Structure 1
Amino acid sequence: MSVPATGSLGRRHFLAASAGAALTATALPGCAASVDDGDDSGSKSKTTLTVMAVKDEFDVKAVEKALGMKVRLLIQDTPKLNAMLASKTPPDVVVAWGASETSYFAARGLMTDLDPYFDKSAVLKPSDLDPVNDVWRFDGTKQGVGPRYGMTKDYSQDQMFWYRTDMFDAAKLDHPSETEPLSYDEWLDMGKRLVKRRLGKVKVYGLNGTGLGVFSQIMGMTASAGGRLFAEDLASVDFSSPEALKALKWYLEYARADIGPNVANPNPDGWDWPPYQAGRMAMTCSGYWFGGVIGGDPKVAEVSRFAPAPQLGSHRISPCFGATGFFIPKDAKNKDAAWKFFEWYFAGKPAQDRASSGWGIPTLKSLHSRMPQDKPFQKQAYQVQQQELAYFSTLTFTPYVQRAALDGVINKVLPGAIKSGTSAGKVADELNSRMNEQIAKAKELVR
């Protein structure tokens, strides 16, 4: 069964479907429940643009000055967004993860088709859009084709990794190639050789093998082996296929080796920068964006290098699992004003500043030349990243549930399985059963 591109999943069931799909606030970084409603006094003649975004995403006063309109900022709050979408009173612009949320919102008819706007724009031209923006396209069965529903602010290919040359040199290990990807087995072996323990406890992580969640990592690994996690109709997963099972086995071996953060033994720091900066992590599965934080510490920058995404098989890919950006809801009241915000945010000074910061790859090809290359580590990362762009791939995500819900299942099933030594086959069966039950329930709710 294919899913129509818009409308047929039913907006009247959106709240129930959202609950069933566990659309959680953790799906976006920096989420908070607080809301700044602004002050409309003295602005009755001006358009008021309502934007839902993460905290400190942009300077409200700068937007108002640049666009000549009042801006009402809502801090990203998923339950509030769901309620606003269901009541047809949504914000004019909404932040989302393009890679994993486009199909979810588009299939419910909740997003505006932006192709007419792009076709008429003098600054956001389709020919200038980086391929990552295709994650915001969905034709009802496949992501990457069909109407364009949003745009990414900047992005990374999330299975690439950074490493510390000083730790490789101390372990007498050759540095990873800048052009040829490691196999996942080679990468795991390096992690095992770089880990350091004291009294049976890990003191230095050899490798963090997952970046934006275990489900995404296994999804990408399965694709590089020539398979897929989601069925053709996107209504089920299959961890038991040869390709997915190979990926699952790799993750179980990585976690049981206890050489890096995993679902059974998470990083107490919460993210990779603290241990990486302190020399307590040799390799981190973080994309180009991580160079932005590395650049703030000259000593760490001196010993940091970037490498291509490892591959599980011969089908070389290097996907993006985030692609955070904005969309305009179908029922937004100020769509033309929202598009002016798009042009300013994605092509104006904010986009130019982001491009030169090193915190992500620009999503306009014309801004790629602004990516920083002044420091040796930046020049090396830029060269590696430019070569990697040829292997960018869009992976279609199910429209029925969101990634947070599927990672939630993994977080329930895998810790016990890792500690008990449960076989990969049994783990796959348990994941299939739980996830497919959840997807089926969500599908019923949105018919």
Structure 2
Amino acid sequence: MRRKGLSAVAVTVAGALLLAACSSDGSEGNASEEPDTSGGDAPNELTFMFRGGEYDKLAYETAIAAFEEETGAEVNMIITDADQYATKLQAAIAGNQVPDVFYIESGRMQGYVYANVLADLSEYVDQATIDNVWEFGTTAYRFDKESGEMGTGALYGLPKDVGPFGFGYNTVMFEEAGIEPPSPTEPLTFDEFVDIAKQLTQDTDGDGELDQWGTGLNVTWNSQAFIWGAGADWISEDNKTVTVDTPEFAEALQWFADLGLVEGVTPSAEQAQTLDTYQRWMAGEIGFFPVAPWDIATYNDVAANNPEVFGYDVIPYPVANEGDDWSTWLGSLGIAVSENSKNKELAAQLATFLSTNLEAQKILAENKVQIPNLIDYATGEWIETDAEATGWPANSQAFLDIAMEKGRPLPGTWTYTPEWYDNFWIGIENVVDNGSQTAADFVAAKQPEMQMLLDQSWVSAEQAKAAG
């Protein structure tokens, strides 16, 4: 048995279609200054536009070569880094040069649909194939134009991946401190987490300054799991009511802020500016830190070059109390087909190949780009192969647990626009960095602002539906 250890693009229609992408490491690859993104004209030509770094580029070059050999197609790959992807895709859409196949994000897919940018892939993908893909990975790209409901209806994309945002710890640091490794299956409580973090926070060279910390978490991307682990949430089940002003939410947010403000187990805001916590984690200065599939290749390189300070594995996220259920966010990038592609059937075949073909999935997993989309492969051969042979963490079962049951979409995913959710982070530094505002006061003031924006989002959805 194997012993083993997802970046948001948003789309809206407001006069023109606007796309905003989160940043991540990457290189522009073979993208030109102004790439020709228009779809292929010949019967066997396609254009595939995507984003990523060198690991992604190498993996997709191999996968695309396999598709070309199998089908006789010619695929023009256009790769950009995450920061440039949004602008270039927006320009392609505005200029009516939409690629045949391209990445989308589920969070505001509705705008694409109402603007008639996306092809309905339902007729091109059989049900047996869909049933063997993580449910979140297909549900995220379904949309019912009539009801305006996400997660149901026509299939407007296939998952490039599902991205379980896992949690990790530095195995070397734990061993040197003589601390027993956390359970690979049972979450620590908040109190247990703080206790261990305090033990890891040290002045290792005796100069009177801390140079090792228990953790160092970014509130915007790392607090969700802790809020959920306390039984709180940003939004109601029907996605109509903002729920940040509950006692459970305020207490969890204050606990998160107090990791630095009171417990002192994180680098200060000034120290984080000198060297961010992501770099400190890889330098062996941070005990607990997020670990996601897109990090694996980088982390492996660091562990191979600096084994004396860095090694890692994956564990559940902490919860407020013993017996509480843990969860974290599960993201996804999608692969879509242009409604106006001159080779729509072949384009759908490419999207399906990249998302669901076993050979392609093996290529992507072996290159540490993602966990496999195929359930039978992921839960069988992939997880059962010894971790040392694959380079994945020993407890990578945690990634599968997130994909199967522990993962949640980010709060703004199922609403027409995410501005209501984005508004939450405006002024959050007053709670977590300088402590000038309590979490309770902050969420009390935020709720009406966010509710107004959420209400506006539903109005916009109705307007777009009527216009479409």
Between the aligned residues of both structures, percent identity stands at 20
Give runs of aligned pairs for residues 73-222 of structure 1, distance below 5 A: 73=78, 75=80, 77-85=85-93, 89-98=97-106, 100-102=107-109, 105=112, 110-119=117-126, 125-133=129-137, 134-139=139-144, 144-158=151-165, 160-197=166-203, 202-210=210-218, 214-215=219-220, 217-222=222-227
Q: Within the alignment, does 1:248 sit opposite 2:257 as a pair? A: no
Partner of 1:49: 46
> Match for residue 437 of structure 2?
422
| Among 301, 308, 318, the residue aligned to 2:327 | 318
Corresponding residue number in structure 1 for 2:416: 400
| Residues 363 and 208 of structure 1: CA distance in aligned 2, closer, same or farther (over 3 Å) | farther
Paired position in structure 2 for 1:4: none
Instruction: Check whether the contact 2:41–2:342 (CA below 8 A) recurs between aligned residues.
Output: no
User: Residue type matched to 2:319 in 1?
Assistant: Q
In structure 2, do the counterparts of structure 1 residues 409 and 308 end up closer, same or farther at CA, with 3 Å as the change threshold? Answer: closer
Distance in 1, Cα, partners of 2:37 & 2:405 = 47
Matching of residues 244-393 of structure 1 within 5 Å: 244-256=249-261, 257-260=263-266, 266=272, 268-269=274-275, 272=278, 274-296=279-301, 297-298=303-304, 299=307, 303-312=311-320, 316-346=325-355, 347=357, 349-368=359-378, 369-371=381-383, 373-375=386-388, 378=392, 380-386=394-400, 390-393=404-407
Residue 244 of structure 2 aligns with an amino acid whose one-letter code is F
Q: Does the CA-based 8 Å contact 2:421-2:450 persist in structure 1?
A: yes
Q: How has the CA–CA distance of structure 1 residues 219 and 304 changed in structure 2, closer, same or farther, with 3 Å as cutoff?
A: closer
The Cα shift of 1:204 comes to 1.9
TM-score, normalised to structure 1, is: 0.77
- What is the one-letter code of the residue matched to 2:330? F
Distance 1:269 1:96 in 2: 32
Distance 1:370 1:219 in 2: 29
Distance 1:72 1:157 in 2: 26
From the superposition, tell whether residues 203 and 345 of structure 1 become closer, same or farther in structure 2 (CA, over 3 Å): same
Confirm or deny: 8 A CA contact 1:291 1:358 kept in the other structure. Answer: yes
Which residue number in structure 2 is paired with residue 26 of structure 1?
22
Question: Residue 49 of structure 1 aligns to which amino acid in structure 2?
Answer: L
Tell me, yes or no, if the aligned pair for 1:153 and 1:324 is still in contact at 8 Å. Answer: yes
SS in 1 for 2:194: helix
CA RMSD of aligned residues (A): 4.0
Alpha-carbon distance between aligned partners in 1 of 2:267 and 2:140, rounded to the nearest angstrom: 28
Q: Is the 8 A contact 2:37 2:47 kept in 1?
A: no
C-alpha distance in 1 between matches for 2:401 and 2:316: 9
Code of the aligned partner of 2:46: L
Q: How many aligned positions are there? A: 420
CA deviation after TM superposition for structure 1 residue 168, in Å: 1.8
Query: Structure 2: how far apart are the matches of 1:117 and 1:290?
Result: 32
Q: 197-206 or 337-346: which moved more?
A: 197-206
For 1:190-220, what per-residue CA distance to the aligned partner results, in whole angstroms no more than 9, with x for missing partners?
223312357775422311334xxx3454444
The answer as to whether partners of 1:37 and 1:72 remain within 8 angstroms in 2 is no
> Within 2, Cα distance between the matches of 1:264 and 1:330?
49
- Deviation at 1:342? 1.5
Distance 1:17 1:243, change over 3 A: farther
CA deviations over 1:171-200 (Å, ceiling 9, x no partner): 332211112111234323322331235777
Distance 1:231 1:390, change over 3 A: closer
- Quote the Cα distance in structure 2 between the aligned partners of 1:361 and 1:207: 25
**1:66 Cα offset (Å):** 5.2
Cα distance in structure 2, aligned partners of 1:216 and 1:437:
23
How far has the Cα of 1:328 moved from its partner? 2.4
Q: Deviations over 1:396-415 (max 9, x none)?
A: 62433348x845751x4022
Contact 1:202 1:259 in 2 (8 A): no
SS of 1:295's partner is helix
Change in Cα spacing, 1:77 to 1:174, as seen in structure 2 (3 Å) is same
Where does structure 2 lack aligned partners over 5 or more consecutive residues? Answer: 1-10, 464-468
DSSP-derived class of the 2:102 partner: strand
* Range moving further from structure 2, 302-311 or 430-439: 430-439
Paired position in structure 1 for 2:5: none
> Which range moved further: 161-170 or 315-324?
315-324
| Residues 36-75 of structure 1 aligned to structure 2 (within 5 Å) | 37=35, 45-55=42-52, 57=57, 58-59=60-61, 62=65, 67=71, 68-71=73-76, 73=78, 75=80
Structure 1 residue identity aligned to 2:214: G
Larger displacement relative to structure 2 (332-341 or 192-201)? 192-201
CA distance in 1: counterparts of 2:445 and 2:349, whole angstroms = 48
Q: Which moved more, 1:242-251 or 1:288-297?
A: 288-297
1:102-161 C-alpha deviation (Å, 9 max, x unpaired): 4665576654332222227xxx71221123413333456765444333222334421x32
Q: Is contact 1:52-1:91 (8 Å) kept?
A: yes
Gaps of 5+ in 1: 1-10
Normalised by the length of structure 2, the TM-score is 0.74
